[in-house]
């Protein structure tokens, strides 16, 4: 039985490719997406696999790692791990802006889903904001927003009427305080978020999340001729830098105890998991293309 819950936040610092293999569109290697909404996501199995790989490097006691994630090979069918990782879901998606370089965009739907995920068993932290009422054909911005001029905002090639809203200020302040990892550069990134948060209509956000990702062309060269090898030109889709995701993490008491396996409560399981990424400069590498610097994410555990 799940008795403890935490939220793990992932801030993408280099383009991230969590792929699904080959695709049917013009993009050869698309990213993972939710079936109904088409929002970008990262499957929980990938998150859990990376946490386990990190644990095997950090936690030297194999029995503790097995309690968290289950036995890796021998005895893998004896019992399951006590740590449960959900899918990484989108919270903020960066979009190019005519003013302010880029905007952190979200939507009523995304915020409502996040609020639901936070409130499901996550009782230690009370949200100090509510999702604003939807305003037709307008984008809600903070009262000190720097991504619009005279209440007109241009994202990519699309123009929106911008409406300042104090509730957006509260959401930006809360994300800055409880969600945003320490990204260095002093107050620049917290101020950036508070000056650039935009709540878009649901359909517009979905379209940006679907069509404003980063497309990278890859090649493999013939070393002798210095030309592209036949069939070795392909495109990859990536989540852009400055995307913010969240992962629900759940825990149960240790499922298998014995003389070689210490007893652990769900709270102790989560405490061990949080030790995998605490302090300033905590990173994970997710997705493919690790050797070309893709997929570096800064992490923060929620309270």
Q: How far is CA 165 from the centre of its chain?
A: 25
Q: How many CA atoms lie within 13 A of 45 on its CB side?
A: 4
pLDDT in the model for residue 180: 95
- The answer for residues whose C-beta is within 8 angstroms of residue 19's C-beta and 6 or more apart is 29, 30, 31, 32, 236, 237, 287, 288
pLDDT in the model for residue 256: 72
Alpha carbon distance 140, 127 (integer Å): 19
pLDDT along the chain (303 residues), means of 10: 89 93 76 95 93 86 85 73 94 97 97 91 71 92 95 96 96 95 91 97 96 89 75 87 96 73 83 74 86 92 83
Alpha carbon distance 103, 92 (integer Å): 9
pTM: 0.91
pLDDT in the model for residue 119: 85
- The answer for residues whose C-beta is within 8 angstroms of residue 260's C-beta and 6 or more apart is 63
Q: How far is CA 177 from the centre of its chain?
A: 17
Alpha carbon distance 65, 256 (integer Å): 12
Strand-pair category, 138-141 with 158-164:
parallel
Q: How far is CA 46 from the centre of its chain?
A: 12
Q: How many residues does the chain have?
A: 303
Give the SS3 label for residue 64: helix
Tokens of 205: 């956000």
Q: Is 205 exposed, middle or buried (0-12, 13-18, 19+ CB in 10 A)?
A: buried
CB 132 within 8 A of CB 199: yes
Strand-pair category, 197-200 with 102-107:
parallel
pLDDT in the model for residue 169: 96
Helices (H), 126-256: 166-178, 188-196, 202-211
Q: How far is CA 201 from the centre of its chain?
A: 21
């Amino acid at each position: 039985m799940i008795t403890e819950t935490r939220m793990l936040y992932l801030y993408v610092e280099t383009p991230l490719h969590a792929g699904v293999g080959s695709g049917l569109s013009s993009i050869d290697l698309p990213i993972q997406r939710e079936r109904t909404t088409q929002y970008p996501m990262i499957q929980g199995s990938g998150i859990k696999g990376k946490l386990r790989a990190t644990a095997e490097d950090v936690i030297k006691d194999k029995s503790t790692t097995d309690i968290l994630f289950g036995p890796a090979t021998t005895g893998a069918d004896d019992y399951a791990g006590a740590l449960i990782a959900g899918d990484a879901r989108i919270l903020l998606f960066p979009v190019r802006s005519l003013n302010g370089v880029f905007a952190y965009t979200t939507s009523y739907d995304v915020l409502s889903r996040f609020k639901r995920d936070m409130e499901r068993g996550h009782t230690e932290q009370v949200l100090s904001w509510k999702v604003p009422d939807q305003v037709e054909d307008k984008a809600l911005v903070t009262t000190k927003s720097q991504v619009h001029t005279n209440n007109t905002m241009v994202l990519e090639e699309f123009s929106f009427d911008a409406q300042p809203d104090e509730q957006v200020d509260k959401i930006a302040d809360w994300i800055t305080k409880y969600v945003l990892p320490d990204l260095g550069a002093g107050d620049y990134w917290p101020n950036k978020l508070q000056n650039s948060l935009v709540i878009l209509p649901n359909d517009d956000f979905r379209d940006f999340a679907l069509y404003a990702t980063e497309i990278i062309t890859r090649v493999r060269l013939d070393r002798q001729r210095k030309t592209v090898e036949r069939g070795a030109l392909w495109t990859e889709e990536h989540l852009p830098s400055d995307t913010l995701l969240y992962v629900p993490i759940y825990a149960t008491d240790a499922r298998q105890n014995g003389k070689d396996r210490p007893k652990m409560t769900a709270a102790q399981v989560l405490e061990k998991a949080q030790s995998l990424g605490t302090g300033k400069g905590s990173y994970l590498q997710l997705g493919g293309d690790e050797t070309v610097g893709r997929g570096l994410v800064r992490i923060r555990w929620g309270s």
